[in-house]
Amino acid sequence: MTATTAAPEARTKVKQRPGDLWFSGSALFAGSMILATLAAVALFLIIQSIPAFGASSETASLLTSDFWAYVGPLLFGTVWAALLALLMAVPLSLGVALFITHYAPRRLAQGLGYIVDLLAAVPSVVFGLWGILILAPAVQPVYAWLNANAGWFPLFAGDASATGRTIFTASIVLAVMVVPIITAICREIFLQTPVLHEEAALALGATRWEMIRMAVLPFGRSGIVSASMLGLGRALGETMAVAMVLSATGAVSFQLFTSTNPSTIAANIALTFPEAYATNINVLIATGLILFIVTFVVNAVARYIVNRRKEFSGAN
């Protein structure tokens, strides 16, 4: 009895090596710095935003009535452009990721993987220049044709823009920017699918698409949600590309092809901040606080969905 009880006590009293202590301390410090930085940013935004909540057109020239009337169209444009981009980016990203992992030859898959990773590193200014000089003139005739032949559809109604610099063009640019991020994450998730699951589906007579639908996509569902929310966060906070491409008027409109376009919070801050003064600076910082809250909520909801799916799959 004495020998058996002494062994666990001896294991619990093993002295840790200095390297382990340094590494654990460094990891704890790094994690704490993330939380401290996030808290510091939130505190700065809240303090600087307090004067804007009670501002009016008399104290801030940016406002026509009050702060909420000013930020409402900007918030609408931010969410609308990001959702449109996500609707285009997620199916395309899933298709590219599935092609790389399950259809393309190995050499072609490696090359496409490198290209996807390189696209994620392209600066947003380059995408903005591409949107202005190439994309907008190219899609303008398409907008005019859709407006003339399908103008009965509410999203296609209104007079088509003569420049093509609409909210839909900005959404296309955002979709191109977030596709590499979503694709890279989905590709890594699909590669982690157990080979036995795939081989079992194929052995039972399933086609390759049926195998993907029954084995690969269910396994990577939580990863797809995480990748989509990460892409949504990128689209919500994108600044320069939207500011360069979008010809905004500040109106709230669901129409995709007209010259009456809402702006986004990030683009509005980038374009307005250099000339802002006094309370106008607080107003712009307050809009940044709203964007901060929206992105925080989006990521929190995504984390909740992923955790719920993990618990559900673990229970089954």
pLDDT digits (tens, 9 = 90+) for 224-247: 888 888 888 888 888 888 888 888
pLDDT over threshold 80, residue 9:
no
CA distance 175 to 131: 12
Per-residue confidence (pLDDT) for residue 313, from 0 to 100: 55
Give the 3-state secondary structure of the chain. Answer: CHHHHHHHHHHHCCCCCHHHHHHHHHHHHHHHHHHHHHHHHHHHHHHHHHHHHCCECCCCCCCCCEHHHHHHHHHHHHHHHHHHHHHHHHHHHHHHHHHHHHHCCHHHHHHHHHHHHHHHCCCHHHHHHHHHHHHHHHHHHHHHHHHHHCCCCHHHCCCECCCCCCHHHHHHHHHHHHHHHHHHHHHHHHHCCCHHHHHHHHHCCCCHHHHHHHHHHHHCHHHHHHHHHHHHHHHHHCCHHHHHHCCCCCCCCCCCCECCCCCCHHHHHHHHHHHCCCHHHHHHHHHHHHHHHHHHHHHHHHHHHHHHHHHHHHHC
98: its two tokens: 């599935």
Please name every residue paired with 56 in a beta bridge, in sequence order, or none if there are none: 66
CA distance 258 to 147: 9
Over residues 49-62, the mean pLDDT reads 85
Over residues 194-202, the mean pLDDT reads 86
- What is the Rg, in whole angstroms, of the alpha carbon atoms belonging to the chain? 25
CA distance 251 to 260: 6
Over residues 18-32, the mean pLDDT reads 84
Please name every residue paired with 160 in a beta bridge, in sequence order, or none if there are none: 258
Over residues 105-109, the mean pLDDT reads 86
The pTM is what?
0.84
Per-residue confidence (pLDDT) for residue 312, from 0 to 100: 54
Per-residue confidence (pLDDT) for residue 262, from 0 to 100: 87
Please name every residue paired with 258 in a beta bridge, in sequence order, or none if there are none: 160
Over residues 135-154, the mean pLDDT reads 89
180 touches 119 (CB < 8 A): yes
Average pLDDT of every residue of the chain: 85
pLDDT over threshold 80, residue 7:
no
Whole-angstrom CA distances from 258 to 93, 123, 127, 165 are 28, 28, 22, 9
> Could you tell me which of 285, 289, 260 has the C-alpha nearest to residue 272?
285
CA distance 269 to 239: 8
Which superfamily does CATH assign the domain made up of 77-267 to?
MetI-like (1.10.3720.10)
* Domains of the chain by residue range: 77-267
Q: At what angle do helices 265-272 and 279-315 cross, to 10 degrees?
A: 150
291 touches 239 (CB < 8 A): no
Whole-angstrom CA distances from 109 to 72, 96, 121, 183, 313 are 44, 10, 19, 13, 30
Over residues 94-112, the mean pLDDT reads 88
